Every structure is written in C-alpha cells, then in structure tokens.
C-alpha cells in the first residue's frame, strides 16, 4: 500500500469500493477495512496459529536443504546424497537442475556467504542455529549466485524456514535476507575483503576457500612450474560446476558408439562432445548418465577426464624384460636394462590396482588389460568399497580380472614381492584437486590431515615398489596438487632406495593426449582445472631397476 494519508471514505487506489459502489463499505464499526470476501460475510479466519497452518514449500528447495542437512550431520558427500533424493521424490528436468545448482553452489560458496551473513546478524555465526544458518546460505546463493528474482528468493526461503525451522526462525531469515538483498554481489565482495591482510587471504574469502588451502594451492602452482598469478583463476575454477564426463572403456564400447547411444536412446536434449585429451572421454550434457544403456551395463562410466588420462598414460609406458637370475659380481655381465642376457622375457600380464575403490580406474585398467591379454588384481582395504569395485568390473571379461581382494595395500609388497608387472597407486589423499566436484571437502579438511595422509601415501608407494618386479612400472597418482602429497612423498620414498628410476610421465601423457596439451617442463605431471578442464590430478611414473 502507498504511504499516502487517507481519510475514511476516500477512494481507494486500485478501484476500492465506497458506500455508493458495488459491494458497499468494507469498513467495520471500528473503521478497519475488510477484504471483499469478509465484507460479504464469506470470509473466515483460520483457527490455527500461523506456525500450525499447512506448509507448502518448493520441492527443489526442500531437496537442497535436505542435502545440506545430510552433508552436515553424517559427513556424507553431496554427489552421493542428491541423485537418490531426486529420484525418490520424482524431481526431474528444470527442478532437478535448480536443486542441483542450489545445493552444490551453496556448498561451494559457503565461506563467501558466511562472511556476508556475519555482517547482517547481531551474533557470531557459531551462535546461529545450524539449520537456520543453512537456510540463510541457501537464500544468499539464490540472491547473489543464481538468476532468481529477489522477491522469490526471499519469500520462498522464508517459507522453507517456516516449514522446517518454525515461525520465529522464519522472521529472522526474512530480516537477514532482506539486508543481504540491498547490495549486489560486487558490493558485498568489496565489503568482505576490505580488511584482508594480503592477496591470498582476500582471494580465499571472496572465492570461498579456507586460507590454508589457498596458500597450499599457490605453493603447488609455483612448485609445478606455473605462475602464482594463476591462483585467482584456479580458485574460480574450483567454484565452477564440472562437466559430466563419460569414459568409453576400451574393448567394451567405443566412444562413437557411446555417443550414438546418447543420441538415439536418451530422451530430451542430451548432447555429447569428445573430451579434449583422453581418447576415451566423452563430455555429456542434458542427460542423466544412468539413462544411457552402456553406463547401466558397465561398458561405460562416469569418470573425470584427468582421471582417465593418467590411467591411460600409466598403462602406455612399456615394461622392461624380466631379467633371469644374473651371475654373481665379476663372473659375467651386469644387470642393467641396456645389457640384458639372451632369453630375457618381457611379460606384461599381471597388473595391480593397489587402492582400487570405488573402481573407476580399476575398470578402465581392466578393460585395457583385457585388450592386451593381461589380467588385473584389484585390492581395496574397505569391504564396502571392494563391493563397488566388483560392480564397476561387472562388464569386463572374466579372464581380464584375476580377483578383487580386501586387504591392506601396505602389506602387499611384503606378501607378494616382485609379483606384478604394473602397480597403480591411486593413493588416498585430501582430494583438494576435486573441490569443484566435492565442494564439501574444502570445509572438512584441515592442515592436520596432511601428516596422517602423507605417512600412509609413503607406505603405500613403498609397498607398490616392492610388489612390482624389476623392469616393471609403478604409477603414483593423487587427486591433490598439494606438494606434500605429491613431490615430497615421492622424494621421501626414493631417498631410501637405490633400485628405482623416475620415468618421463609428461612424455607418457603426451603420447595419449597429443603434443598440444600444456604441461610444465618436468618429468611428473600436474593437471589443473583452470588449464586442462580436469580435476587437479598428479602423476609420477617409476620403474623398478632390473
């Protein structure tokens, strides 16, 4: 209503009724105006209190809120929680896309939104009810990170708050979101970064990363031959939703046939495009991968192109011949790879994925092994993840899989010394290279995790080098660019051994991806989201000396 003063009986804006208009006077004996229905005696006020009335909320926003709740309460991953929720609740199409962006975007940009919300409330954020804080984050993302009309972002979030947190919380959410809506994103970014002591901290705040991760990323950029100036672009890439990339597993389905399945067998506006680097990669848009027959049957899967690329490069490096037992020193030839005795055999038939769960790399390796007449052993320490590996290998020919076993990878080198021609160590890590795909990881990890993980990584790599035969190849892979998890782990392990040589991983990657792929002038390889469009995968290739 306008703020103009009116006298009783004066004409109302919008064609209100007066004494001589149809409908008669809407004012009661106390001079209060009544609605048209109540003036006719047809209106009836609800007997329920506002907090007890029927609460109808948007299903997509409800799902996004439930994802945030599940991620917070059970340390679940959003990419595992959201898809089944959408299916169970029958949310598809645009609503599913909205729920996905709302949930993932809120998780990615939580740090940015918390900095903004903290300037709109009268208490520290740790004194705000966690459920209400999640609601504020959802509302802030709609206002500042999505193309949602301001009134809809506020009113729908307030309605969700009323339904899920109560009327009092809804009033609080309404007041805070209205404060947030008074400024643009650009204005808010200036506000929240004004007091940052340095550029790295400023980028961490505005690009929603913990400061320690931003600093580690900067060190990793410099340490792998890139400029520190890349940091802003890298952090921004971490906040960009990744493309869905399929892997066409060799010998099971070709990339062309997989693209044809999408075109012919999937309804809607689904499209595909070849990956940039891996010959097995197919970028998918506009479809649920589970709707594609080859994915359902295991001939294809969902796998980041960087993950595909390092796996293919590892499998492409030739092993050296197996050297028969050599004469004792001074009695004959030496045991170098360049001076092999007659009859040296070069088997490449027994491969090991030391940390195989959940099975993406294992399935790609197994399909490659099947084409080459080799077989794979997939080892996984966690039984439930071993079952996922078995599912991932379901379409692979049986003679390409020796077994899936549950065991501690740190023991394999002792239990089966020199038993394998190739060993892949896809080591457990912080996952800092996949923050765009698992946005909640940035808020869970702490600097203290590094020491625990790097100890495990060193032990696993040492075990792999013991498990591979002389002349065989070990691939050390992490989905983290953190220097402590990559270069320093390798350096520490090699410092205690004289039977290992470092291979040119960059040459192996170029053999797969082509010479155009931008790589630093190093023997190891570090991929980057902002450069390669992949997760930040690291690859070091090693050979046990013959």
Partners of 209 in the beta sheet?
Answer: none
What sign has the CA pseudo-torsion 501, 492, 310, 374? positive
Name which of 28-42, 281-295, 476-490 the model is least confident about. 28-42
User: Per-residue pLDDT for 334 more than 70?
Assistant: no
- 85 and 185 in a single domain? The answer is yes
| 507 in any annotated domain | yes
Confidence of residue 10 (pLDDT cuts 50, 70, 90): very low
Binding-site residue ranges for S-adenosyl-L-methionine: 355-361, 380, 408, 426
Band of pLDDT at residue 266, cut at 50, 70 and 90? low
- Which of 261-270, 299-308, 353-362, 493-502 shows the lowest mean pLDDT across its residues? 261-270
Beta bridge partners of 282: 246, 274
CA distance 70 to 68: 6
Whether residues 440 and 516 share a domain: the answer is: yes
- What local confidence, expressed as pLDDT, does residue 56 receive? 64
Report how far Cα 544 is from the mean position of its chain's Cα atoms. 34
Distance from first CA to last CA of the chain, Å, rounded?
A: 87
Per-residue pLDDT for 54 more than 50? no
Assess if residue 180 is contained within a domain.
yes
The CATH code of the domain that includes 525 is 3.40.50.150
- pLDDT tens digits, residue range 192-235? 999 999 999 999 999 999 999 999 999 999 999 999 999 999 99
Pair (308, 264) in one structural domain = no
Domain span including residue 506: 304-320+347-544
Q: Are strands 281-285 and 271-274 parallel, antiparallel or unpaired?
A: antiparallel
Looking at the structure, tell me whether residues 397 and 437 fall in a common domain.
Answer: yes
The backbone torsions φ and ψ at residue 200, rounded to the nearest 5 degrees and listed phi first, read: -65, -45
Residues designated catalytic? 479
Q: Which pLDDT value is given to residue 521?
A: 96
Bridge pairing between strands 375-380 and 350-353: parallel
Would you state the pLDDT for residue 385? 96
Question: Cβ atoms within 10 A of the Cβ of 388, count?
Answer: 18
Same domain, 282 and 316: no
> Is the distance from CB of 527 to CB of 488 less than 8 angstroms?
no
Structure tokens at 340: 């092999």
Residue 274 sits in the same domain as residue 313: no
Cβ contacts of residue 53 below 8 Å, gap of 6+?
A: 46
Binding residues: 355-361, 380, 408, 426
Q: Residue 546 — very low, low, confident or very high, per pLDDT cuts 50/70/90?
A: confident
Residue 287 lies in a domain: yes
Quickly list H helices, 439-486.
441-444, 448-467
What is the pTM for the complete model shown? Answer: 0.85
- What whole-number percentage of the chain has pLDDT above 70? 85
Per-residue pLDDT band for 264 (boundaries 50, 70, 90) equals confident
Number of H helices, E strands in the chain: 23, 12
Q: Do 94 and 129 have their domain in common?
A: yes
Domain identity same for 309 and 271: no
Nearest one of 92, 346, 370, 162 to 250, comparing CA atoms: 370
Closest C-alpha among 419, 415, 353, 417 to residue 386: 353
**Do 390 and 527 belong to one domain?**
yes
Write down the H helix ranges in 289-335: 293-297, 305-316
- The CA distance from 57 to 162, in Å, is 9
- Counting the structural domains of the chain, the total is 3
Kindly tell me if the per-residue pLDDT of 357 is higher than 90.
yes
Q: Is the pLDDT of residue 339 over 60?
A: no
Task: Check: CB of residue 533 under 8 Å from CB of residue 283.
Answer: no
| CATH number reported for the structural domain that contains residue 69 in this entry | 1.10.940.10
209 in any annotated domain: no
Nearest to 421 by CA among 323, 493, 360, 346: 346
- Tens-place pLDDT, residues 103-120: 999 999 999 999 999 999
The CATH number of whichever domain residue 295 belongs to comes to 3.30.70.1170
Flag whether pLDDT at 8 surpasses 80. Answer: no
pLDDT at position 259 is 95
> Is there a single domain that holds both residue 287 and residue 436?
no
Q: What integer best gives the mean pLDDT of the chain?
A: 88
**Predicted pLDDT at 286:** 79
Q: Is the pLDDT of residue 374 over 80?
A: yes
pLDDT surpasses 90 at 35: no
For 409-420, write each residue's pLDDT tens digit: 999 999 999 999
Residues 6+ apart with CB under 8 A from 326: 332, 333, 334, 335, 341
Please indicate, yes or no, whether residues 431 and 503 belong to a single structural domain of this protein: yes
Residue 339 falls within a domain, yes or no?
A: no
Q: Based on the domain organization, do 365 and 491 belong to the same domain?
A: yes
From 178, 195, 212, give the residue that closes a domain: 195
- Residue 23 forms part of a structural domain: no
């Amino acid at each position: 209503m306008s703020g103009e003063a009116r006298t009783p009986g004066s004409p109302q804006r919008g064609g209100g009724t007066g004494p001589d208009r149809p409908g008669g006077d809407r004012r009661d004996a106390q001079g209060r105006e009544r609605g048209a229905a109540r003036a006719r005696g047809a209106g009836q006020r609800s007997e329920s209190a506002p907090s007890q009335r029927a609460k109808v909320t948007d299903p997509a926003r409800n799902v996004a809120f439930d994802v945030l709740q599940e991620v917070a309460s059970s340390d679940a991953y959003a990419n595992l929680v959201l898809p089944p929720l959408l299916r169970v609740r029958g949310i598809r199409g645009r609503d599913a896309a909205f729920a996905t962006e709302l949930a993932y975007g809120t998780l990615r940009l939580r740090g940015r939104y918390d900095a903004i919300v903290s300037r709109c409330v009268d208490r520290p954020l740790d004194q705000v009810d966690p459920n209400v804080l999640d609601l504020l984050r959802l509302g802030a993302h709609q206002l500042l990170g999505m193309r949602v009309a301001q009134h809809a972002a506020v009113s729908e979030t307030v309605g969700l708050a009323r339904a899920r947190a109560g009327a009092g919380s809804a009033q609080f959410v309404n007041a805070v979101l209205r404060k947030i809506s008074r400024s643009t994103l650009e204005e808010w970014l200036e506000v929240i970064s004004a007091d940052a002591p340095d550029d790295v901290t400023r980028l961490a705040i505005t690009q929603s990363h913990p400061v320690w991760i931003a600093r580690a990323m900067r060190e990793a950029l410099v340490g792998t031959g890139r400029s520190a100036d890349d940091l802003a672009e890298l952090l921004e890439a971490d906040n960009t939703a990744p493309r869905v990339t399929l892997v066409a597993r060799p010998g099971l389905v070709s990339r062309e046939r997989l693209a044809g399945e999408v075109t012919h067998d999937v309804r809607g506006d689904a499209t595909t495009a070849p990956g940039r680097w891996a010959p097995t990669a197919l970028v998918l848009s506009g479809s649920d991968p589970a709707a594609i027959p080859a994915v359902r049957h295991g001939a294809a899967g969902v796998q980041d192109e960087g993950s595909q690329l390092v796996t293919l490069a590892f499998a492409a490096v030739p092993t050296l011949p197996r050297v028969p037992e050599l004469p004792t020193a001074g009695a004959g030839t030496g045991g170098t790879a360049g001076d092999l005795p007659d009859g040296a055999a070069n088997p490449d038939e027994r491969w090991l994925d030391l940390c195989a769960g959940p099975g993406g790399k294992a399935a790609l390796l197994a399909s490659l092994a099947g084409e080459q007449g080799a077989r794979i052993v997939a080892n996984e320490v966690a039984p439930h993840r071993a079952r996922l590996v078995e599912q991932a290998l379901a379409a692979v020919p049986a003679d390409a899989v020796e077994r899936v076993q549950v065991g501690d990878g740190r023991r394999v080198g002792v239990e089966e010394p020199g038993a394998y021609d190739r060993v892949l160590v896809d080591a457990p890590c912080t996952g800092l290279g996949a923050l765009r795909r698992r946005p909640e990881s940035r808020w869970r990890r702490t600097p203290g995790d590094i020491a625990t993980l790097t100890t495990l990584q060193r032990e696993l790599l040492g075990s792999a080098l013991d498990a591979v035969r002389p002349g065989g190849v070990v691939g050390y892979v992490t989905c983290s660019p953190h220097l402590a998890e990559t270069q320093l782990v390798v350096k520490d392990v090699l410092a205690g051994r004289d039977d290992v040589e470092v291979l040119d991983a960059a040459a192996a990657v170029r053999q797969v991806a082509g010479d155009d792929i931008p790589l630093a002038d190093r023997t190891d390889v570090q991929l980057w989201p902002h450069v390669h469009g992949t997760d930040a995968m690291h690859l070091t290739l090693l050979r046990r000396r013959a």
